[in-house]
A and B are shown apart, each in its own frame.
Chain A
Amino acid sequence: SQTIHQWPATLVQPVGSPLSLECTVEGTSNPNLYWYRQAAGRGLQLLFYSVGIGQISSEVPQNLSASRPQDRQFILSSKKLLLSDSGFYLCAWSVGLTSGNTIYFGEGSWLTVV
């Protein structure tokens, strides 16, 4: 069966520091991968999605970036964090060459920028 792992689970970072969140999917090949952000008490904002290695689509211009160095690995990064980057970050995956396939979420990473 497929599983998704995301880490770290929680982190507290000072403003201006770098960020790296990592996500891996097991049990499937060539998944579509996503990064969503959820601010406290708010909805799910799509940040990036990827349909293959090295293929990244950005949804929101900001100081975050994403990379996909391997088929089942997705990394969210920032060179300098802002206070507004605080939130709950969720990695997710789906499979299939068409839209309309279920998205499954990782456990999430709580980021607090202080």
Chain B
Amino acid sequence: GENVEQHPSTLSVQEGDSAVIKCTYSDSASNYFPWYKQELGKRPQLIIDIRSNVGEKKDQRIAVTLNKTAKHFSLHITETQPEDSAVYFCAASLLAGTYKYIFGTGTRLKVLA
């Protein structure tokens, strides 16, 4: 069935270092890949997304890359700050017309001051 694998499950970095979270999807028809940040006890918030016709997208310290051939995409956070600490989820849209989105299992990022 449809599946999105996300790694690592936890990640600790020193403030100022970079963090990379990777996801792999199974449905070759997936065409939209958002990333969400969830702070403790709050709703997931969209931080960046990428569509299948683009290989990379950047927004200040956050970037996402997509490799359609390998069916994986990654979130890159540079110059990490303590407020980046949260759980990050990747997601992939499924076959057009189903309106379904499958989420990865999440990565708990801790930025150490």
Contacts and interface: CB of A to CB of B under 8 A. Distances in A.
Nearest to A43: B105
B24 to A, nearest CB: 14
A106 B100 contact: no
Interface string B85-113: 00001010111111111111110000000
B61 interface: no
Q: Which of B36, B99, B104 has the most CB of A within 10 A?
A: B99
Size bin of chain A's contact surface? 20 to 34
B31 interface: yes
Nearest to A98: B96
A107 to B, nearest CB: 6
A27 B37 CA distance: 24
A34 B101 CA distance: 10
A104 B42 CA distance: 13
Contacts, number: 63
Contact of B34 (A36, A49, A59, A103): A103
A51 interface: yes
B51 interface: yes
Nearest to A33: B99
Contacts of A86: none
Given A32-B99, A99-B99, A100-B51, A90 B43 contact: yes
Nearest to B31: A100
Contacts of B46: 102-104
11 contacts: A43-B104, A99-B31, A99-B98, A100-B32, A100-B96, A102-B46, A102-B49, A104-B46, A105-B43, A108-B42, A108-B43
